């Protein structure tokens, strides 16, 4: 039985906040898909009270690949309305028209990774323009009636409807990184925050989740790399040896056997790079037929990371949208911090060794090395991101102090993820 229902013949649904009556999700990538699932499987979800729509690019809607067509059919079967919008190609006016026509009370941007510069501020300005006037908005913040969907479609007569916005800020704490930090790559996120903080028409929340767990485990990110043949090294690994001036920087390479921890393991600090050090160590300590895992710390073993799965980011976001308002646990007009796990790279490596039972080799990419790598290839976003994470500001927060912990939301840990995906 749904949490909405009482155990009698005439169930009285729990009221939902007005913002949850018509939700537009933009983008159906890893996060957007998870958010749609979280919104439509939430105990408060009732399609007669909450309309959920998904905006996709007109080309994706009109000419989908077989895979995307199947995905779109699945969304339609879940009563998710599909609408066309191109955040990059469309003007701000066109976005305002689309938002007003839909009469959306909440806009949630779930597809900004790699968006062209200016896209996030353009969408934010369009959202603010599609908002109801401040006086209309104040009356709209009352809870929607429990009797049904009383959502007003003011957009059709031009007054605007949007009252709540979740911008594409899923990630680090950009206030702490500042415009100067991260080589300026997050200044647009700060522009969006300035726009939101300087107005009173649209409520908003920013969900700070740290690094996506899937991203943290991607081979291309470099922190977790599976080794099929012992710890043999490809050329690419040798090419990323740290350099400090003319001297190769020393890397720490620890070889962990199952059950061993960073504190008890052998340390090999010979210069000569990850390939030489890790390879030699692994031959001494592990069976070369066993796939091993290489963990690379960005800056040091004592640096901290916060990481969250897309499913949990989505679960927290849906929970905020459906939460009663006002409520001590409903964060409005502020960044909210959530965490699946917060741990040091040393703890991370120990956790992977424990969860997988495999030998884990360890190396460090020092900050200076990563800065140099990025300076040599300034267009490479990934290398710039690594510098941000190695600088260590605004990329972690204690898990026990997060909103998700205070709200008692169960979050998937690194150990759980590794057991599911690495063993």
Ligand X SMILES: NC(=O)c1ccc[n+]([C@@H]2O[C@H](COP(=O)([O-])OP(=O)(O)OC[C@H]3O[C@@H](n4cnc5c(N)ncnc54)[C@H](OP(=O)(O)O)[C@@H]3O)[C@@H](O)[C@H]2O)c1
Q: Which of residues 198-227 bind ligand X (CB under 6 A)?
A: 211-212, 214-215
DSSP 70-122: HHHHHHHHTTEEEEE--TTTS-HHHHHHHHHHHT-SEEEE---TTPPTTHHHH
Query: Least distance from C-beta 394 to ligand X, angstroms?
Result: 11
Binding mask 289-328 for ligand X (x = CB under 6 A): ----------------------------------------
Region binding ligand X by CB under 6 A among candidate stretches 20-28, 191-199, 233-241, 342-350: 20-28
SS3 96: helix
For residue 275, state whether it binds ligand X (rule: CB under 6 A). Answer: no
**Structure tokens given for 26:** 């933009």
**Structure tokens given for 155:** 């957009």
SS3 202: coil
DSSP 306-351: EEE-HHHHHHHHHHHHHS-SS-TT---SEEEE--SEEEEHHHHHHH
Longest dimension (CA), the chain: 79
Q: Which of residues 183-202 bind ligand X (CB under 6 A)?
A: none
By beta-carbon proximity to ligand X, the closer residue of 60 and 257 is 60
The one-character DSSP state at 125 is H
Measured N-to-C along each axis, helices 30-41 and 310-322 cross at an angle, to the nearest 10 degrees, of 40
**Structure tokens given for 39:** 């919104």
Identify which of 273, 265, 275, 272 has the alpha carbon closest to the alpha carbon of residue 359.
265
Query: Least distance from C-beta 375 to ligand X, angstroms?
Result: 22
Query: Least distance from C-beta 102 to ligand X, angstroms?
Result: 14
User: Site for ligand X (CB under 6 A): which residue of 3, 11, 29, 239?
Assistant: 29
Query: Least distance from C-beta 303 to ligand X, angstroms?
Result: 16
For residue 28, state whether it binds ligand X (rule: CB under 6 A). Answer: yes
By beta-carbon proximity to ligand X, the closer residue of 195 and 223 is 223
For residue 153, state whether it binds ligand X (rule: CB under 6 A). Answer: no
User: Site for ligand X (CB under 6 A): which residue of 36, 85, 131, 205?
Assistant: 85
Interface residue list for ligand X (CB under 6 A): 26-32, 56-57, 60, 85-88, 110-114, 170-171, 211-212, 214-215
């Amino acid at each position: 039985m749904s949490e909405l229902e009482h155990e009698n013949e005439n169930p009285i649904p729990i009221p939902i906040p007005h913002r949850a009556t018509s939700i537009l999700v933009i983008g159906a990538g890893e996060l957007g898909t998870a958010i749609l699932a979280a919104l439509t499987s939430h105990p408060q979800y009732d399609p007669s009270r909450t309309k959920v729509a998904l905006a996709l690019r007109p080309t994706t809607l009109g000419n989908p690949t077989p895979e995307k067509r199947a995905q779109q059919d699945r969304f339609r079967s879940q009563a998710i309305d599909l609408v066309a919008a191109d955040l990059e190609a469309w003007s701000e006016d066109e976005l305002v028209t689309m938002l007003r026509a839909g009469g959306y009370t909440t806009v949630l941007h779930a597809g900004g990774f790699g968006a062209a510069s200016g896209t996030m501020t353009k969408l934010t300005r369009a959202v603010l323009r599609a908002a109801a006037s401040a006086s209309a908005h104040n009356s709209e913040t009352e809870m929607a009636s429990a009797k049904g969907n009383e959502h007003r479609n003011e957009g059709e007569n031009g007054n605007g409807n949007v009252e709540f916005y979740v911008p594409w800020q899923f990630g680090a704490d950009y206030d702490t990184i500042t415009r100067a930090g991260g080589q300026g790559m997050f200044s647009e996120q700060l522009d969006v925050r300035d726009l939101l903080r300087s107005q009173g028409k649209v409520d908003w929340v920013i969900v700070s989740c740290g690094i996506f767990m899937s991203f943290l485990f991607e081979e291309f990110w470099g922190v977790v790399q599976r080794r099929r043949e012992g710890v043999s090294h490809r050329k690419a690994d040798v090419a990323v040896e740290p350099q400090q001036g003319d001297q190769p920087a020393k890397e720490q390479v620890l070889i962990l056997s199952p059950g061993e921890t960073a504190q008890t393991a052998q340390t090999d600090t010979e210069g000569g790079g990850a390939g030489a050090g890790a390879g030699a160590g692994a031959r001494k300590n592990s069976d070369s037929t066993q796939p091993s895992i290489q963990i690379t710390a960005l800056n040091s073993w004592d640096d901290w990371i916060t990481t969250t799965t897309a499913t949990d980011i989505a679960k927290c976001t849906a929970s905020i949208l459906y939460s009663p308002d006002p409520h001590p646990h409903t964060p409005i007009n502020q960044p909210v911090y959530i965490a699946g796990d917060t741990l040091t790279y040393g703890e991370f490596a120990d956790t992977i060794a424990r969860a997988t039972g495999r030998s884990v080799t360890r190396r460090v990419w020092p900050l200076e090395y990563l800065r140099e790598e990025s300076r040599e290839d300034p267009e490479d976003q990934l290398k710039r991101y690594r510098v941000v994470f190695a600088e260590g500001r605004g990329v972690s927060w204690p898990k026990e102090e997060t909103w998700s912990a205070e709200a008692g939301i169960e979050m998937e840990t690194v150990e759980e993820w590794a057991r599911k995906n690495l063993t």
